Chain A
Amino acid sequence: MPELEPAAEKTQSAPKGTYYLRFTRQQRYMHAVLFTTFLGLAATGLPMRFSESFWARKFAAGVGGFGAILFLHKLCAVVLTIAFAIHIKEIVQRGIVNREKGIFWGPTSMIPNWKDVKDMLGHMRWFLGLGSKPQFERYAYWEKFDYWAVFWGMVVIGFSGYAMWFAPFFAHFLPGWALNAVLVIHSEEALLAVLFIFSIHFVNTHLRPDSFPMDMVIFTGVESEHEFKEKRPLEYERNSRKGELKKKVGIAPPLWLINFSKVVGYTAIFIGLLLLVLTLTAYFS
């Protein structure tokens, strides 16, 4: 067996060849804010969820007690809420005000469609060697799931979190037992998010052999032509058929950006995996 080595062009030297834009600067920043605050929320939320585990008290003492933990948790929550609001505003702006095509439907939309169902089934047939690998469009079904999982998660966790933060206010229109329920909802949904992101998202997006050890596109915004064709052949085909490929050509990422992205990305993955291990030890002890 050959060693699991970085896929072809992720090399030590500055990359060459044509690079295509996948994520805008704003989208990359949004992801950066999202994963930073998510790590912050997880790091401060998990000690509360598993407050009787050995590491929770040590961590709490390390950052200055429970007061500091709750403060940081709320701080990250507010930042993430603002980011979420900006994202909603962006969707409304582009999809409704500007009537931009491809936001709510079509191959570039995040909305799941029939093809996603077929892709998923086809993909699983391919896993078992029962068919050929499906050809994916701009957003594959698992990427859409990631998006909607985070979207739903932010609504659910955010709402239940604010309901606890401002409980007397929310009590004006929530029944009494809902105040008990919001903690269950908040912690279970957050646990799902933590387990999902730190295991499944990490593997599906970054650690699987096609992208190992990290998919840099969310950091640099661009990917090589080879990667584009390989991962999203339908999108490549559609763009070249319409002659729009040229519009998507981006600048090859400079070496510093690749290195910077690696440091940030590996750090995030490391923290995430550490939190995953701590969560699992606390959950099963």
Chain B
Amino acid sequence: MFAFASRKEDGRMTDAAVKTVDSDQWSVARKTGVRGQGSGIGARVALVALSLAILALAPRKLSAQDCLTCHGDASMTDSNGHSIAVDGKKFGDSIHGSLQCTNCHADIKGYPHPDKIAPVDCKTCHADQADQLKSSVHSDSKDHPCTSCHGNAHEIFPKTDARSAVYPLNVPKTCGQCHGNNGMAGKHGLPSIYPNYIDSIHGFALSKEGLLVAANCQSCHGSHSILSHNNPKSPTYKSNVPQTCGNCHAKINADYQAGVHGQAIAKGDLKAPVCSDCHTAHAILQPTESEFRMQSTPICGNCHKEKFSTYRDTFHSQLGSLGGYVETARCWDCHQAHDVRPASDPSSPINKANLIATCGRCHAGANLSFVQYQPHANARDRKLNPGLYFVRLFMNLLLASVLTFFMIHTILWLIRSRYSQVKNRAANGGKHA
């Protein structure tokens, strides 16, 4: 699977530690300052002839400089028209710059070399990564799995180098090549992730602020050993999500673990929500923003259906649904977002002893009587809320009876007065009769 097609112009290698270092010849070549780029056919022929002569006289290993004599020509292509040029300067600067071409292109023993050479196998050096990749979701990749992410094989930089395709700030774009609109993932029925991520709070921190610590794709998914979220070993498997997010959001994870949702997950109840259920996985919004507050209340309602239904009857919900106004109480304003605890728990904000403080966060002057207000009262439940039930019944009866009576009254009146108007005009010989 590690077939390195030499025809690929952006054939790449991994960034892991280089095991074999044999740089003498390359260094010498660099010192001489000889570069093959742009040399004319005549010069090239002369150099090849010279090389051949040297080879014939004293067989020895090919140096990078020898290869660049031909491959340094940026316009060089193979018989299929694919570029087989190498930028010697960039290669020299790259993490593999101290290697010889033949360290990777091991089947080339001398010049001339065969037209068809074996694909480079990164595994030779990067065996651990190769093993991780083999068990990952990318194991069946038809493209070269290393260069797809690490970029041009001759221009690979350490991940701490801003030129690297896997430098934190470059990761989303790199993954987005496939996991974006019209990308490879789309063809496999996977959602387009890149636009969601890049507009999220993480994407914003990364792309706009350049925060290296902001979560990028691999912060949550890993790199070589990416697993499906259905795999219990995956950091994105439901019960692993809190820990994954908690790698950065440690305090919130601690709060979450203490709350009912965290404890349910810990017990293996996968119905309980984890971070991504409320915040989404990729399109994560700033939780104090109106948009997040608008979208997240119904998410709690997915499970807490009855509570959501009664919440929607209240003024809190009516105000909140209009948008553009973020202060009205949402689920987590009273219940806490992460450390959710039942009302029976003395440390819960909705415990009776804490209600004045909790309501008082918005309602200055909240008192003992004020907090008797029921944010989830059900006017349709006679046993639970008798007062409210009868008030609603009375109001509905009043509304129905007044409207019904006057509707009939008005319709009959309309018909009758129209009838007598027409009749009178007819009797008077009116012009409209």
Contact = CB atoms under 8 A, between A and B. Distances in A.
B298 to A, nearest CB: 10
Interface stretch (B62-70, B111-119, B262-270, B362-370): B362-370
A70 B318 CA distance: 11
A264 B318 CA distance: 32
A252 interface: no
A200 interface: yes
Contacts of A203: 410, 414
B286 interface: no
Interface string B405-421: 01101101111111011
A66 B399 CA distance: 27
Contact of B403 (A4, A70, A124, A195): A195
B324 A66 contact: yes
A57 interface: yes
A185 B432 contact: no
Contacts of A188: 392, 395-396, 398-399
Contact of A200 (B315, B387, B406): B406
A275 to B, nearest CB: 16
Interface stretch (B42-50, B148-156, B371-379): B371-379
Nearest to A67: B325
Nearest to B420: A133
From A56, A67, A180, A200, name the one whose CB has the most chain B CB atoms within 10 angstroms.
A180
B399 A192 contact: yes
Contacts of A178: 387
B388 interface: yes
Given A168-B365, A172-B367, A60 B324 contact: yes
A192 B392 CA distance: 13
For chain A, the bracket of interface size reads 35 or more
Interface in A231-246: none
A175 B369 contact: yes
A48 B369 contact: no
A176 interface: yes
A35 interface: no
Contacts of A4: 418
Interface residues of B, number: 55
B51 interface: no
Q: Is the interface of A mostly helix, strand, loop or mixed?
A: helix
Contacts of B414: 203, 208-209
A177 B322 contact: no
Contacts of A210: 417, 421
A48 B322 contact: yes
29 contacts: A2-B425, A2-B430, A3-B432, A5-B432, A51-B317, A56-B322, A60-B323, A64-B324, A65-B322, A65-B324, A124-B409, A126-B416, A128-B412, A149-B402, A167-B370, A167-B373, A168-B365, A168-B366, A174-B369, A175-B372, A176-B369, A177-B388, A179-B372, A184-B395, A192-B398, A200-B403, A200-B406, A204-B413, A209-B414
Interface of A: 1-5, 47-49, 51-52, 56-57, 60-61, 64-67, 69-70, 123-124, 126-129, 133, 142, 149, 164, 167-169, 171-172, 174-181, 183-185, 188-189, 191-192, 195-196, 199-200, 203-204, 208-210
Given A171-B372, A203-B410, 18 more contacts: A3-B432, A5-B432, A51-B319, A128-B412, A168-B370, A171-B370, A172-B369, A175-B372, A175-B387, A176-B369, A176-B372, A177-B388, A180-B385, A181-B391, A183-B314, A184-B379, A192-B398, A200-B407
